[in-house]
Amino acid sequence: MQQRLIILLFALIGFQAFAQPQAGPRGERPPMPNADHFTKRMTKELNLNAVTSKKVNAAFLNNIKKMDAVFASKVEEKDKRAALDANKKEFQKSMKSILSPAQYAQFLKLEAERPGPPPPPSGGRPPRPR
């Protein structure tokens, strides 16, 4: 009987060890890796110099902080969408002031090529595979 309890105890501990940690809300992630990745990508794609690259990084960090504040707020989804759209326009305006006209045109082209969010679920049951 004791052997079964010990085996059961080890099995429960083993299952607990494989459990995935729960993902926290968006605001808990540090924005630095995203900003560094974005800055490196823009530096490579737009041939930015060091000064311009630092300005792009600062603008992107500011953009992320504002987005996190919107996501953390307790407003309706419609108001969040409006705030995010305004934030996106403000970010593009700051990028336009940082980049040259040719670089900004390339930036807009890169932004247009990015895939958008996934479509919302249809509400019904998905079709059965055959």
The confidence score (pLDDT) of residue 123 equals 66
Overall residue count recorded for the chain in this entry: 130
Q: What are phi and psi of 48, to 5 degrees?
A: -85, 150
Residues 78-91: what's their mean pLDDT?
Answer: 91
- Is 11's pLDDT higher than 80? no
Sequence ranges of the domains in the chain: 28-113
Please identify which residue in the block is written with the tokens 């919302």.
Answer: 120
16-20, 81-85, 91-95: least confidently modelled range? 16-20
- Is 29's pLDDT higher than 70? no
Sequence-distant (6+) residues with CB within 8 A of 61 are 31, 32, 35
Closest CA to 57 of 41, 39, 71: 39
The confidence score (pLDDT) of residue 18 equals 63
- Residue 5 binned pLDDT confidence (cut-offs 50, 70, 90): confident
Of residues 65 and 114, which shows the higher confidence score? 65
Beta strands in the chain (DSSP E): none
